[in-house]
Amino acid sequence: MKAHAAIEAIAFDLDGTLIDSAAGVALALNTALTTAGLPGFELATVRSWIGDGPDSLILRALEASRLRDTDLPSLASMLRKVFDTTTLQDPGAQGAAYAGIADLLGDLSDTRPLVVVTNKPSPLARAVLEAAGLLNHFAAVHGADTPVQRKPSPLLIQQAAAGLGVTTDALLMVGDGPADLQAAHAAGCRAAWVSWGYGPAPARADVWRLDAPRELIARLQSPEPATGRTPIH
Q: Which residues are catalytic?
A: 13
E-strand spans in the chain? Answer: 9-12, 19-20, 96-97, 114-118, 140-143, 171-175, 190-194, 208-210
88 within 8 A of 123, measured Cβ to Cβ: yes
* Residue 195 Cα distances to 39, 130, 156, 213, angstroms: 31, 24, 23, 10
- Return the SS3 of 103: helix
The secondary structure of residue 170, as a DSSP letter, is: G
172 within 8 A of 11, measured Cβ to Cβ: yes
- Return the SS3 of 203: coil
For residue 192, list its beta bridge partners: 174, 208
The residue among 81, 72, 90, 183 whose CA lies nearest residue 172 is 183
